[in-house]
Amino acid sequence: MCGIIGIIGAAPACPILVDGLKRLEYRGYDSAGLATLVVGRIERRRAEGKIANLEAVLAENPLSGTTGIGHTRWATHGSPSEANAHPHANAAVAVVHNGIIENFQTLKETLVAEGHVFESATDTEVIVHLVTRYLSQGLAPAEAATRAVGELAGAFALAMIFAGHSDLVIGARRGSPLAIGHGDGAMFLGSDALALAPLTKRICYLDDGDVVELTRDGAIIHDQAGALVERPIRETAVIGDAIGKGNFSHYMLKEIYEQPTVIGDTLASFINPASLEVSLPDLPVDFAALPHLQLLACGSSWHAALIARYWFESIARVPVEVDIASEFRYRAPVLAEGGAALAISQSGETADTLAALRLARQLGQTALAIVNVAESTLAREADGTLLTHAGPEVGVASTKAFTTQMTVLACLAIAAARARGVIDHQREAALSAAITEVPARVAEVLRHDAKLKELAEEIAAARHVLFLGRGTGYAVALEGALKLKEITYIPAEGFAAGEMKHGPIALIDNDIPIIVVAPSDQLFEKTASNMQEVIARGGRVIFLSDAEGIERLGDLAAASVEIPAVDAFVAPILYTIPVQLLAYHAAVIRGTDVDQPRNLAKSVTVE
């Protein structure tokens, strides 16, 4: 239930809504739908699947009207069918929703007992019936919406239109974000500024509990207590231009190839190339005295956090804990007084990561964020933010955002080490030099693309794939397995190489490719032993190592890919590239939807 948009203006709403939905498709693409007011009547069009399917429906059966709402869905309650697609509507009101109504079952039972008939399996539909209940009691739309919203538990951003009210769109939010766009004789609602970018630069964000009435002339906002309030309007810098694939067949491949450039762009904002000193923007944290750092993230961003833990501990000697955001929230964490929490997120909109950072702040931690989207909710809410300069990432499977997150985290670890006095200038310069070299070395790794494409044949035919590594290589193994699962749907697992003998080694047979991440660092011998153990049991290993490692063990592996020899500190960034390319090529061979794999969303905005 993911991206929402609303418009009230003079121009036909439908093309504007569709265009906005395309920019929100990163929030889900299970179904899409629109509703407009046509001579005061609610009309809607919906389609299962991507927005392209909705466009086909609209081409057959166009929709007029200048007031309307739209939705692109990531299914939570109810299958991704047309019947469950938003808007949910009856003759009186149409509703689009991002979030989850946690008390929908109780509300639904009451409404059914009152005689309301439900048409979908969604939680959202209760809102339609609640609003209708209050409209039929004679309340005006805004009052009916406010009453209905007051009965909802959970998280939501909503947009509604009302039959017979062509100059009205109502919005409301709690938990999920909602932006208002101010145009000339037109007003807009959207899940983010990006959705509204081509329409207006003048954006304001609703606070939790706000209800807004949009007319063509402006917005009237009431807060949770019912008081009339104003929310500041800012000029957004977000640019909503369509991003092309260039000469690449998929966004994912383009984004993999952009990595030398965007890692370089990210470094340029954190490292002085002349003095090789890390200089970070001011953060409200004194690293010298920091007792504890809590890292919070989901998906690939969590893998970046796992890698960062090794760095913060070994280089900066900062006590670090890493949590999956959705787990952190419910494990009654005990955090050190005066500590900081750092959320890592490409989108800055992931609901679990946002909620985890809010909790950390409630528990007295300074809230920091690393995000790729500068005006995202996370960036706006955090006490201090560092930006990855990956540029827009379109492919659902994260690639360049992940490697730029590692880049920022590496710089932060160096800066923290300096602040704590645990490295001297010489060591700082050596670490900075190592990270500065990364763009060139990543470009070298990309030259193995053709070989990785060949190796992907075996992966694409496998029924199960394992990735092994130690230390930061373990986190790379997890990321490799995640990439492969996400876009090929082949079951894949990443293991700490030393843990194999405690169970997973039972999986080994002649048919399972095993990708071993093994830079020749201090853990090489240990990883090498674990690799011998799987080979002894018939495992076919694809060995990722440097010249020295391949010289020593390459003969044992079914295939080897040589990664440039670099300081162990930056190795995880380099070793990520081959696992991305293996997953990409295996997906192309299997013919899956590489950029928009089934069941996923680029950013998951529900808990």
CB of residue 542 to ligand G6P, shortest distance in Å: 23
Q: Residue 504 carries which DSSP code?
A: G
178/546 Cα distance (integer angstroms) = 48
**Closest CB to ligand G6P among residues 201, 483:** 483
CA angle centred on 467, ends 306 and 316, rounded to 5° = 25
533/195 Cα distance (integer angstroms) = 52
Q: Which of 22, 201, 485, 602 is catalytic?
A: 602
For the sheet with 540-545, list strands across it.
492-496, 465-469, 513-517, 540-545, 559-562
CB of residue 581 to ligand G6P, shortest distance in Å: 17
**Closest CB to ligand G6P among residues 213, 595:** 595
Active site residue 453: no
CB of residue 29 to ligand G6P, shortest distance in Å: 12
**Closest CB to ligand G6P among residues 145, 492:** 492
Interaxial angle between packed helices 141-150 and 125-136, expressed in degrees from 0 to 180 and rounded to the nearest 10: 130
Beta strand pairing call for 211-215 and 169-174:
antiparallel
CA angle centred on 264, ends 410 and 256, rounded to 5° = 95
CA distances from 496 to 11, 94, 467 (A): 57, 51, 9
Question: 3-class SS at 174?
Answer: strand
**Closest CB to ligand G6P among residues 13, 322:** 322
Tokens at 131, concatenated: 């609003």
Q: Residue 102 carries which DSSP code?
A: T
Count other Cβ atoms within 10 Å, centred on residue 509. Answer: 11
214/490 Cα distance (integer angstroms) = 47
Residues lying near ligand G6P in the complex (CB under 6 A): 298-301, 345-347, 350, 353, 396-398, 600, 602-604
Question: 3-class SS at 305?
Answer: helix
Position with the least CB separation from ligand G6P:
299
**Closest CB to ligand G6P among residues 301, 527:** 301
Interaxial angle between packed helices 13-24 and 51-60, expressed in degrees from 0 to 180 and rounded to the nearest 10: 160
CA distances from 540 to 462, 475, 555, 563 (A): 11, 21, 12, 19
Alpha helices in 184-258 (DSSP H): 193-196, 251-257
**Closest CB to ligand G6P among residues 144, 577:** 577
Count other Cβ atoms within 10 Å, centred on residue 593. Answer: 14
**Closest CB to ligand G6P among residues 88, 602:** 602
Question: Are residues 460 and 494 in contact, defined by beta-carbon separation less than 8 angstroms?
Answer: no
**Closest CB to ligand G6P among residues 213, 393:** 393
CB of residue 478 to ligand G6P, shortest distance in Å: 12
Active site residue 411: no
Q: Which of 2, 14, 298, 411 is catalytic?
A: 2
303/294 Cα distance (integer angstroms) = 14
In one-letter notation, the amino acid at residue 237 is A
140/103 Cα distance (integer angstroms) = 25
Question: Are residues 70 and 189 in contact, defined by beta-carbon separation less than 8 angstroms?
Answer: no
Question: Are residues 375 and 237 in contact, defined by beta-carbon separation less than 8 angstroms?
Answer: yes
43/41 Cα distance (integer angstroms) = 6
Alpha helices in 151-273 (DSSP H): 193-196, 251-257, 259-268
CB of residue 155 to ligand G6P, shortest distance in Å: 16
CB of residue 424 to ligand G6P, shortest distance in Å: 34
CB of residue 600 to ligand G6P, shortest distance in Å: 5
CB of residue 397 to ligand G6P, shortest distance in Å: 6
447/438 Cα distance (integer angstroms) = 14
**Closest CB to ligand G6P among residues 4, 296:** 296
508/537 Cα distance (integer angstroms) = 7
CB of residue 113 to ligand G6P, shortest distance in Å: 38
**Closest CB to ligand G6P among residues 529, 599:** 599
CB of residue 485 to ligand G6P, shortest distance in Å: 11
Sign of CA dihedral 232, 237, 241, 246: negative
CB of residue 211 to ligand G6P, shortest distance in Å: 28
**Closest CB to ligand G6P among residues 324, 422:** 324
33/85 Cα distance (integer angstroms) = 6
Residues known to be catalytic: 2, 602
